[in-house]
Amino acid sequence: MTMTDFETVDKNFLFKRAALKWAPWPEDVISLSVADLDFAAPREIKEGIIRAVNEDRTPYGSYGGDADVLEAVCDKLQRINKIPATPDHVHMIPGTMFAIFLVCYYFLKPGDEAIICPGPVYPPFIHNVLNAQAVPIFNPLDFQNGLKLDLDDLRSRITPRTRLLMVSNPHNPTGRVFSLRELEGIAEIAQKHDLLIFADELYEDMIFEGEHTSMASLSGDLFQSTITVFGFSKAFGIPGYRIAYLVTGGNFMKDLKKRIHDVIVHADTLAQAAARAALTSGSPWLKNLMNHLKKMRDYTVERLSQIPGIRCPVPEATPFLFPNIASFGMTSKEMTEYLKEKAKVIVMDGAEFGPPGEGFIRINFATAHSILKEAMDRTEKALREI
């Protein structure tokens, strides 16, 4: 088995193929923006796809997913997430974004409210609530108090129009891993008000500290009232394959499956083979990736913390930092424009993650040390000139 060299990044390849993260920019620019790894996919995944190609998986497959893939998914859900899933509870889908769209399209009507728990949050949460002509309501993280979840604030946000509670855990963009106590608090509030929970747990494999608990594992009732989405694109660096899965014990699953059939027929069979390979043989690669990312996290936090005016919490998970840049007197968007022009470093505007993200930027550290060092050198120089 060939191990990936996480200290080597092929920038020529990235500028050619990484269409969202690197390709839009001139070659003197460093992109720490879009949530893509700068490393090639694990060899185990490539080999799994080649095996599937040689099996000629070209006829229509099962609507919910190929049998061998669902078997691996259910084994993982039961063993790791403690969710009592069978294939009837699971559906393979083309990426986690599809689940966000589907939940908003299926459960929200014009004028309904969906609580984002917590805000800031991954922008498609907000976009899809708005696309359903519903209203996103933000339950902000307490940035002054260790990024704690404010359950009293959450209670105060609920109205007769609230239909959906949308949870990101591990949290994108701050990297929080919510404690069992915090999750139980969310669950208690949702059950009291008979709310459906949508749990995005895409970053479950990318944890440095803390322990990830799946919301749907807390009780049988929660399994029935929670839709959880899991994926492979981040931890295994395969967003181009567009593959994820959703799971719920809800009695609406049968109708939900029919809606999915009407939209996509079924998920791509080769992408499902990539998912199966990730589940069955991806662990050694993932362990090495996380060892590397922890070093990159610690290095980048240390560099940012040395710059006067920046406050940077240490993320417990995800490949993201979400530093506070408000003291520089710029909006988040102005700061991203300044760093693009002055440092030729691309980061994400925190305000894109909703109003609670104003005054922050998001930095993706999933790259080689040499790239991060150059980006931090440029960023520090630019910020010290303000």
Dump pLDDT digits (tens) for 166-212: 999 999 999 999 999 999 999 999 999 999 999 999 999 999 999 99
Q: What is the distance between the alpha carbons of residues 340 and 376, in angstroms, rounded to a whole number?
A: 13
| pLDDT at residue 324 tops 80 | yes
- State mean pLDDT over 266-290: 97
Pair (70, 15) in one structural domain: no
CB 346 within 8 A of CB 32: yes
Domain with residue 97: its CATH number is 3.40.640.10
Pair (258, 129) in one structural domain: yes
Q: How many domains does the chain have?
A: 2
- State mean pLDDT over 109-123: 98
Q: Domain ends where: 257, 281, 305?
A: 281
Query: Counting Cβ atoms within 10 Å, is residue 384 exposed (0-12), middle (13-18) or buried (19+)?
Result: exposed
Which band of pLDDT confidence, cut at 50, 70 and 90, is reported for residue 227? Answer: very high
Q: What is the distance between the alpha carbons of residues 42 and 233, in angstroms, rounded to a whole number?
A: 12
Q: 290 in a domain, yes or no?
A: yes
Q: 4 in a domain, yes or no?
A: no
Pair (213, 251) in one structural domain: yes
Identify the pLDDT of residue 2: 53
Which band of pLDDT confidence, cut at 50, 70 and 90, is reported for residue 321? Answer: very high
Identify the pLDDT of residue 116: 98
**Identity at 264, one-letter amino acid code:** I
| pLDDT at residue 1 tops 80 | no
Which band of pLDDT confidence, cut at 50, 70 and 90, is reported for residue 4? Answer: confident
Residue 223 in tokens: 């399994």
Q: What is the distance between the alpha carbons of residues 106 and 260, in angstroms, rounded to a whole number?
A: 10
List the domain range (segments joined by +) for residue 356.
Answer: 11-42+283-384
Q: What is the distance between the alpha carbons of residues 68 and 72, in angstroms, rounded to a whole number?
A: 6
Q: Is 319 helix (H, G, I), strand (E, B) or coil?
A: coil
Beta strands per DSSP E along the chain: 30-31, 90-93, 113-119, 135-140, 162-168, 196-200, 226-231, 244-247, 320-321, 345-346, 348-349, 361-364
CB 325 within 8 A of CB 379: no
Cα–Cα distances (Å) from 99 to 190, 213, 255, 310, in that order, read 20, 20, 15, 35
Q: What is the distance between the alpha carbons of residues 386 and 380, in angstroms, rounded to a whole number?
A: 10
φ, ψ for residue 33, nearest 5 deg: -105, -90
Pair (157, 225) in one structural domain: yes
Query: Counting Cβ atoms within 10 Å, is residue 3 exposed (0-12), middle (13-18) or buried (19+)?
Result: exposed
Q: What is the distance between the alpha carbons of residues 64 and 71, in angstroms, rounded to a whole number?
A: 12
- State mean pLDDT over 102-126: 97
Pair (272, 296) in one structural domain: no
Q: 3 in a domain, yes or no?
A: no
How does pLDDT run across 356-372, given as a tens digit for each residue? 999 999 999 999 999 99
| pLDDT at residue 10 tops 60 | yes
Identify the pLDDT of residue 54: 97
H helices, E strands: number in the chain: 13, 12
Number of Cβ atoms within 10 Å of the Cβ of 169: 26
Pair (119, 231) in one structural domain: yes
Pair (276, 287) in one structural domain: no
Identify the pLDDT of residue 109: 98
Q: What is the distance between the alpha carbons of residues 192 and 170, in angstroms, rounded to a whole number?
A: 24
Pair (256, 301) in one structural domain: no
As a whole number of Å, the CA-based R_g of the chain is: 21
Cα–Cα distances (Å) from 1 to 12, 47, 299, in that order, read 25, 11, 29
Q: What is the distance between the alpha carbons of residues 42 and 271, in angstroms, rounded to a whole number?
A: 14
Q: What is the distance between the alpha carbons of residues 79 and 137, in angstroms, rounded to a whole number?
A: 34
Contacts of residue 335, Cβ cutoff 8 Å, sequence gap at least 6: 325, 328, 347, 349, 361
Q: Domain ends where: 255, 281, 307?
A: 281
Q: What is the distance between the alpha carbons of residues 311 and 359, in angstroms, rounded to a whole number?
A: 11
